[in-house]
Amino acid sequence: MMTASSTSLMQRVCAVPLARAARTRAMAAASMNLSTTTSTTTTTAPSLAKRADPQVLLGLSEPELQQLAIDFSQQGYRGKQLHHLIYKRKIKDIQDFNQVPLAFRNELEEAGWKVGRSPIYQSVTAADGTVKLLIKLEDNRLIETVGIPVKDEKGVMRLTACVSSQVGCPLRCSFCATGKGGFSRNLKRHEIVEQVLAIEEIFNHRVTNVVFMGMGEPMMNLKAVLEAHQCLNKDIQIGQRMITISTVGVPNTIKKLASHKLQSTLAVSLHAPNQKLRETIVPSAKAYPLSALMRDCRDYFTETGRRVSFEYALLAGVNDAVDHAVELAEVLHEWGRGSHVNLIPFNPIEGSEYKRPSKKAVQAFAAALENNKVTVSTRQTRGLDADAACGQLRNKFQKSPLPVDSDNLQTDEDAPVAVVC
């Protein structure tokens, strides 16, 4: 959301030569991957002033940044410099681009451009090193992102960023704190990408894996998720196979995702082996029958060659019986091959009627799947000494936008944290 009035922004824009403003507007449209072509002959400076959002550098590719530099009568290599400053040095303010001429910096700001980075509002750290951040967006909304460090036997660290795709979530799964906090809006491309950069800064380490398993339903914001995916892959250079997109299931979206033929993993949050039980856990399942969801997963595997990972949150006494595991195996075999089940023992949240299953129950469920020839893994619980599971830390601080003057960084290195995903 713009912080200045439309009138003041128009005054700043009109200070830039009209032709340059028109070219800049066209570049902004291209960078947002608009489906229609914007003509510079019909775009004027006032139309730029009326834009609901300012132009954001974060999320633009190197060729796009080079073109932007050229549109400002700069040499193309200035775009390469911008790319390095944004993605490698992670600089957050245009005026701190010291390698770039001051006049160019001023012109970018006068035309409404900004980097697109947000401040960290809260940072909490678990005993196992997992870090949860609350990031304060420009409209004073808060989103969660989590950094999960894991060292292998050789001491090499894998750092996973668990990112949000929406402010809140409209699907209201019964066990999820995010849904209890309500839904505000979709995140924009740069608001997704900046979560990964924030995790890299906190850990002073490169993010190796990204999972879209934070706040929100990625498939309900698929355009921005795909744009962010491209930036993470091409500009931050995280391999596609190191990226996972999770969904509880939204009609027609798995087919759309398959058409892009990504090498990333699709993770479907199943949580039940039959339609009746699934509807009690995932209310949105009423509009997307299990049979239709499984058919789309089968078609996804056929089209992409990538096996689907099924997420299954184990809730004590609800869906964690051996009979449930056998029924789940039958469903997976019925709808084809190429699947994998990831068991997630429930992380308790305040006010929830659900409980975490015993270790014995988790092991018995996994063994039943394996005995029925289903590949299974059990997710290692991180940050169980937590203030909250997914969405609960945000709910503690916000169910409506923060006051305008609430922009102080708050940190607590000893506070507990739970993983979003």
| Structural domains for the chain | 6-114 (no CATH), 120-412 (3.20.20.70)
Q: What's the pLDDT at 285?
A: 93
Residue 177 pLDDT grade (very low, low, confident, very high; cuts 50, 70, 90): low
Of 173, 176, 297, 390, the catalytic one is 390
Task: Return mean pLDDT, the chain.
Answer: 82
- What confidence tens digit (pLDDT) does each residue in 64-123 have? 999 999 999 999 999 999 999 999 999 999 999 999 999 999 999 999 999 999 999 999
Q: Extract the tokens encoding 134.
A: 């609350």
Residue 32 pLDDT grade (very low, low, confident, very high; cuts 50, 70, 90): very low
Residue 179 pLDDT grade (very low, low, confident, very high; cuts 50, 70, 90): low
- What confidence tens digit (pLDDT) does each residue in 240-279 have? 999 999 999 999 999 999 999 999 999 999 999 999 999 9
| Catalytic annotation present for 390 | yes
Percentage of the residues of the chain whose pLDDT score is greater than 90: 67
Q: Which one is predicted more confidently, 352 or 305?
A: 305
Whether the pLDDT of residue 420 is over 80: the answer is no
Q: What's the pLDDT at 154?
A: 86
Q: What's the pLDDT at 351?
A: 72
Q: What's the pLDDT at 395?
A: 53
Contact 253, 215 (CB under 8 A): no
| Catalytic annotation present for 144 | yes
Q: What's the pLDDT at 403?
A: 58
Q: What's the pLDDT at 183?
A: 86
Q: What's the pLDDT at 33?
A: 40
Q: What's the pLDDT at 401?
A: 54
Whether the pLDDT of residue 202 is over 70: the answer is yes
Q: What's the pLDDT at 176?
A: 78
Residue 323 pLDDT grade (very low, low, confident, very high; cuts 50, 70, 90): very high
Average pLDDT for residues 169-175, to the nearest whole number? Answer: 80
Residue 37 pLDDT grade (very low, low, confident, very high; cuts 50, 70, 90): very low
Whether the pLDDT of residue 419 is over 50: the answer is no
Of 64, 107, 144, 227, the catalytic one is 144
